[in-house]
Amino acid sequence: MFHKEGFKIIINTFLLCVALALLAEYQIDHFWTQKAVQFLFVVFLILVLQFFRNPKRNTTPNEKHIISPVDGKVVIIEEVFEKEFFKDKRLQVSIFMSPINVHVTRYAISGSVIFSKYHPGKYMVAWHPKSSELNERTTVVVENKTVGQILYRQIAGALARRIVNYAKVGDEAVQGSDAGFIKFGSRVDLFLPIGAKLNVKKDQVLKGGVDCIAEF
């Protein structure tokens, strides 16, 4: 299954690869060079297909759990001052997604979307400490009665050139459901209440919509 955000790119990439493979068939006389070039087009198409894959995840709703919104590796766990929305100290958990990870963003908790804002910005590498403040990004806050308010931030990386955010103020978020997509490499930051009990550690690899990051 592929994500709807990739349909147009997948079709265009397929047509381009087919056209270039046919061109190589008629323009390159050396047999092995011809096949090597065609093989590279096939590999490129497979990479694009892999990037836009959207595997089904069976999320078991739990009001006391904060689940991972994305696939990737935990790169930051620290207390920080969150200055955009909360304007106080929060526990930040940052997850880096490489180009080969699934790039679907899922809701970490169920509840009401009370804040959603897009910020244009730069395209520094996603693991850079300043990327959460300077890169293109979206900030979304979801609130429920059990865990309170959770902020997550989609951050574009050096390769990511488009962030797709479905969350709108007033929407009812469903834990594990599709909240957006980031194209070609990125990072997601979660800002949790200080009292949250963490179930993850730095460098741990997480599966979005499945793994529990913290609980109350």
- The catalytic site residues sit at 186
Label residue 201 exposed, middle or buried (CB < 10 Å: 0-12, 13-18, 19+): exposed
Q: DSSP for 104-171?
A: EEE-SS-EEEEEEEEE--B---TTSTTHHHHBSEEEEEEEETTTEEEEEEEEE-SS--EEEE---TT-
Distance of CA 57 to the CA centre of its chain: 15
- Whether the Cβ atoms of residue 115 and residue 156 lie closer than 8 Å to each other: no
Phi, psi of 13 (to 5 degrees): -65, -40
93 three-state secondary structure: strand
Phi, psi of 178 (to 5 degrees): -65, 120
Contacts with 71 (C-beta within 8 Å, 6 or more apart), sequence order: 97, 101, 102, 103, 206, 207, 208
Rounded Cα–Cα distance for residues 118 and 136 (Å): 8
